Structure formats: C-alpha cells, structure tokens
C-alpha cells in the first residue's frame, strides 16, 4: 500500500515538473515576440533612436499597425533615409 502511494506521488510530481518545464520552454522560445495585432490608427508614436536596432523595428511595427510615427535620432541623414522608406 505504501509503495503504491509513493509510486503515484512520484507520477504526479513528475507530471507537474514536466508541465512546468514545458511552460518555461514555451516562454523562452517566444520571448520578445508580440502576438498582439491591435490597431493603432489615430495614434501618434514618438520613437527615439529609431534609425537602427530595436527603435527601428519598433517604428516599423507601429507603422504597420497604422500609427503616425515620429522618429528621432542623432544622425539626420539616417532619420531622413528611414522616414522615406516607410
């Protein structure tokens, strides 16, 4: 009887551990991805450092969602180049 109880406790514990590991793996694999597709029409977004890297990608995503995007940066040539691309 005790052995059977220990066996089922081990089964439940390992199942919980497997679920936690799967949840952690899902979080790690999807980290940084945005699945929200909410529209931003009628909104104005100011992106600082929008000529490269994260700021650039954020500005593109805001524009895809319909927002008016204002990009600022240190290099005016880059700002104008990226503004003309969208």
Q: Are residues 6 and 21 in the same domain?
A: yes
Q: Which two tokens stand for residue 66?
A: 């319909």
Number of domains present in the structure of the chain: 2
Q: Are residues 52 and 85 in the same domain?
A: yes
Q: Are residues 48 and 28 in the same domain?
A: no
Higher pLDDT, 67 or 52: 67
Parent domain of 13: 1-33
The pLDDT tens digits of the residues spanning 24-49 come to: 888 888 876 777 778 899 999 999 98
Q: Are residues 39 and 78 in the same domain?
A: yes
pTM exceeds 0.85 for this model: no
Q: Are residues 6 and 40 in the same domain?
A: no
Q: Are residues 85 and 58 in the same domain?
A: yes
Task: Give the CA distances from residue 66 to residues 34, 76, 82, in Å, rounded to whole numbers and listed in that order.
Answer: 16, 24, 17
Q: Are residues 22 and 59 in the same domain?
A: no
In sequence order, the β-bridge partners of residue 70 are 46
What does the pLDDT average to over 49-67?
88
Higher pLDDT, 25 or 78: 25
Q: Are residues 49 and 65 in the same domain?
A: yes
């Amino acid at each position: 009887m005790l052995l059977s109880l220990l066996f089922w406790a081990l089964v439940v514990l390992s199942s919980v551990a497997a679920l936690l590991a799967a949840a952690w793996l899902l979080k790690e694999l999807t980290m940084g991805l945005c699945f929200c597709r909410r529209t931003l029409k009628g909104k104005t977004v100011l992106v600082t450092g929008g000529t490269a890297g994260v700021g650039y990608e954020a500005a593109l995503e805001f524009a895809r969602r319909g927002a008016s995007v204002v990009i600022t940066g240190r290099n005016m040539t880059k700002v104008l180049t990226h503004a003309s691309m969208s």
